[in-house]
Amino acid sequence: MIKVAFSTFVGLYLALIVFNNLIDYGSNFQFVLQVTSMEDTFAFQANQWRSINNSILHHIFYISIIALELTICSLCLFGAYKMATHIKASDEQFKQAKTTATTGYALGIGLWFFVFAAIAGEWFLMWQSDEWNAQGTAFSLTCIFLLFLIFHTQENE
């Protein structure tokens, strides 16, 4: 039952993230704009060729992030539902029911490690920004999702 609860909690957390990104689109969009434009990095002159200053691409990136967050949310919540409906089933059936949430956790690691830590952090040098550096948050969320994934993939209790 704990795996069902954790998947539900993660799904609801992602639902709040998606809600905030849609309701407060403008201020959260600024993060994508500032990070990808790289204007406040101290190595801007040497690396400005990496920057993106196309508003359409900024919106595409941001909408893609929201879509990925919504996908993770849906996978975790639907995975929790599948596990809850298979709670009394055989171990093999319950294990199969876990795969949806497992995919959600794995995509969460992909989002926060690959998109935020690797692409935003290293390619766009987010770590050099005093105001827009979200490396700490990306690292924390990567670790949280990894811990949930490790627990989730353990044998059923």
Q: Give the domain ranges of the chain.
A: 2-152
Q: How far apart are CA 65 and CA 12, in angstroms?
A: 17
Six-digit token string for 117: 């830590």
Give pTM, 2 decimals.
Answer: 0.88
- Residue 157's pLDDT band (boundaries 50, 70, 90)? low
Inter-residue contact 84 to 55 (CB < 8 Å): no
Percent of the chain at pLDDT exceeding 70: 98
Six-digit token string for 2: 């704990």
Q: What is the pLDDT of residues 2-60, one digit of tens each?
A: 899 999 999 999 999 999 999 999 989 999 999 999 888 887 678 788 889 999 999 99
Which residues are CB-contacts of 72 (< 8 A; sequence separation ≥ 6)?
10, 11, 14, 104, 107, 108, 111
